[in-house]
Structure 1
């Protein structure tokens, strides 16, 4: 059993979130993969997905402090197609769209779109890092919440969960 010290774990997670915020691409560059970082202050484990043409393409489940990506293009996606990135809390039932929506798919672009997710099971937030959202995320508690730690421990003991049904 691995034991984390909250202060060092939170500090490492905060540094990772800052790196993602600083290095994140702009929406117009978002094409080779869609990714979501689940910030340490979140109170849930999640799946992230790409919704295209009415179909969801899901990642494996992941706990706080981790990220998942879906390689683009997904099945049948071609240049100019629009798509959405969504997050679903493991114990929730919603598919929350990340904002802003990514630009239409372009195979000539090799960058990725990156979003940060936080909140609680019933109040999921997912936004692309920007000057405005960085201020919001900086206000999020970087200490792992009790619910987030429970979700992390459950993920460690039970492993990945199957994605939500459509």
Structure 2
């Protein structure tokens, strides 16, 4: 749904218009008939009770994660595509999923490559790994996100989503 409006207001902070493509800074902003989903404005100009667009926006809190382990991760890819996982769903190497021996199925886990700092949030949907000293098996997409796909394995830090 696109809204059209003519807006002219003094702005003291950052305002994102048209889906965040163009930031506007202090000065006069005119958005004549510009489609937008929402404009973030100083609270003195727009209140949550007077603007139905802002009322419709959900409150979002960043999930907290607790570090639980460090160790080696590997990945499994196309050779197992379509096989059933421990959760009953079919494995898709393009999904951000992982296998862990003991974490509850459905758990959200932040996997971080300490060498690069790259992280990915995966959902535990399978059991394993059952060989070597590996801590977690990532889907191919998750391994690519954190930069261990080319090597086949790498050291990672695991953190689970805290309630």
What band does the TM-score fall into relative to the shorter chain? under 0.3
Question: TM-score, length-normalised on structure 1?
Answer: 0.23
Which has the larger strand fraction? 2
Question: TM-score, length-normalised on structure 2?
Answer: 0.23
- Greater gyration radius: 2
**Structure with more contact order per residue of length (Cα contacts < 8 Å, sep ≥ 6):** 1
Which has the larger helix fraction? 1
